[in-house]
Amino acid sequence: MMPGLADLLRRLPGDPDIVQPLLALALALLLYAAAWGLARSIAPRLRRSLPPLGDALAGHVRAITLHGIAALLLALGLVFFPTGSLGHLVMGVALGAVVALLATHVLRGLAIPRWAVAPLALILFILIVSGSGGGIAPVGEMLDRVGINLGKRRITLLGLLSIAATCVALFAAVRLANRVIGRSIQKTDGFDPTQKLLAQKLATIVVVVAAFFIGIDLLSIDLTAFAVFSGALGLAIGFGLQKTFGNLIAGIILLMDRSIKPGDVIVVGDSFGWVNKIGVRAVSVITRDGKEHLIPNENLMTQEVENWSYSDRNVRVRIPVGISFDSDLTLAQQLMLQAAQDSPRVLRNPKPNVWLTGFGESRVEHDILVWISDPEGGVGNVKSDVLGRVWHLFRDNGITIPYPQRVVHRPPDTP
């Protein structure tokens, strides 16, 4: 604290133990109000200038900006009061509360559960207040004395709190990095959707691996202590996670060769639908019934897959129709072609066509061939619409649709 300010505080009228805390409280409120005013103008600009960061933190940008500015101003306000005084303690409490709120909004913006946010915010508050009241060392020594001995190692409350805080902070950093990188990749114009998804998956793997090694370093974990068990542990993990890693590699290969992309319409076994997303373990396929099938990535690599939109989204639909032998063949074909052309989902180019395919027992068989460009909208409803139009046109123009007839002859009476 500057000597001039110390002399000014000592010359204030009244009891210093009462005046200094009141003055510190008034200054804290004034600085918070100033931070609120600055945040109103800075937060919108920050969101516009850094859109990926603003999107990643959802609706918490303004609150984070407010408490970040307030923390800086309150930290500067601490210099106006001597260390160990009540005024310094009041400013420390205000600073601790603001920092705790800042951490809460950052973590909640990243969708971190409340049960993990609250302990970390409380730890930050206690550390800052204890630092303002006489130092962090006594609190650390007190927490370090609480613990138990397990063999040659001692587990203390301070160590557990440090591990919990580090894990939560790293988890939040990983989620923030993934969101920022993901939104930045999505806004890139040079990649197609498949390349963007592949880049996001690879970036996620890199971020998680980097966070793991950073956490090992921060917690001072000696990996050589596990050298005896590393061989058996690696073998167990290799067998246990064989399918998981296989699906992971298969998903990356699918994205690299672009054989299956989000939005494609595929048929795998009895599952027909469009690809919603390609995950680390499985591909999500949504059927026309609204059911979401999760198909392991390895299955798409080893099984036969029909991709209706691999190189072209146009799909031809075959609609069989039969007419009676005594109907006007030319008129019936014209009516079938008209029904196909009037259907709203049927493409004009390639144009629909009608083929005569054979002569059955009781009817002349035809195929109406139509093309659609939105197979994810379903195929059965197109057939239903065209057949409904054919029915009405046939009925209005005297074209009959035969049905099998069976005639039972009674044998003549025998003497």
Closest CA to 339 of 325, 315, 321: 321
Band of pLDDT at residue 41, cut at 50, 70 and 90: confident
Same-domain status, 37 and 91: yes
In a domain, 181, yes or no: no
Q: What is the DSSP string of 158-208?
A: HHHHHHHHHHHHHHHHHHHHHHHHHHHHHT-SSS-HHHHHHHHHHHHHHHH
Same-domain status, 386 and 298: no
Q: What is the CA radius of gyration of the chain?
A: 36
Residue 243 · residue 187 · CB < 8 Å: no
Same-domain status, 24 and 124: yes
In a domain, 123, yes or no: yes
In a domain, 51, yes or no: yes
Same-domain status, 270 and 367: no
Q: What is the mean pLDDT of residues 222-245?
A: 61
| Per-residue pLDDT, 325 | 87
| Per-residue pLDDT, 388 | 92
| Per-residue pLDDT, 411 | 67
| Per-residue pLDDT, 8 | 47
Same-domain status, 338 and 266: no
Same-domain status, 118 and 69: yes
- Among 18-22, 50-54, 122-126, the minimum mean pLDDT is found in 50-54
Phi, psi of 263 (to 5 degrees): 100, -15
- Among 153-162, 269-278, 394-403, the minimum mean pLDDT is found in 153-162
Q: What stretch of H or E contains 406?
A: none
Pick the residue with more confidence: 244 or 104?
104
In a domain, 194, yes or no: no
pLDDT, tens digit, for every residue of 337-366?
999 999 998 998 889 999 999 888 888 999
Q: How many domains does the chain have?
A: 3
Q: Is the pLDDT of residue 368 over 60?
A: yes
3-state helix, strand, coil in the chain (%, to 5): 60, 15, 25
Pick the residue with more confidence: 237 or 280?
280
pLDDT, tens digit, for every residue of 163-201?
777 787 788 888 878 877 887 777 777 666 766 777 787
Across the chain, what does the average pLDDT equal?
A: 77
Same-domain status, 95 and 116: yes
Q: Is the pLDDT of residue 14 over 50?
A: no
Residue 112 belongs to domain spanning = 3-135
- pTM, full prediction: 0.51
- Among 59-68, 120-129, 211-220, 231-240, the minimum mean pLDDT is found in 231-240
In a domain, 186, yes or no: no
Phi, psi of 320 (to 5 degrees): -75, 140
In a domain, 175, yes or no: no
Band of pLDDT at residue 290, cut at 50, 70 and 90: confident
Q: What is the mean pLDDT of residues 49-72?
A: 74
What whole-number distance in Å separates Cα of residue 277 and Cα of residue 345?
Answer: 26
Pick the residue with more confidence: 137 or 29?
29
Of the residues 307, 334, 351, the one at which a domain ends: 307
Same-domain status, 303 and 319: no
CATH for 320: 3.30.70.100
Token pair listed for 217 = 């370093």
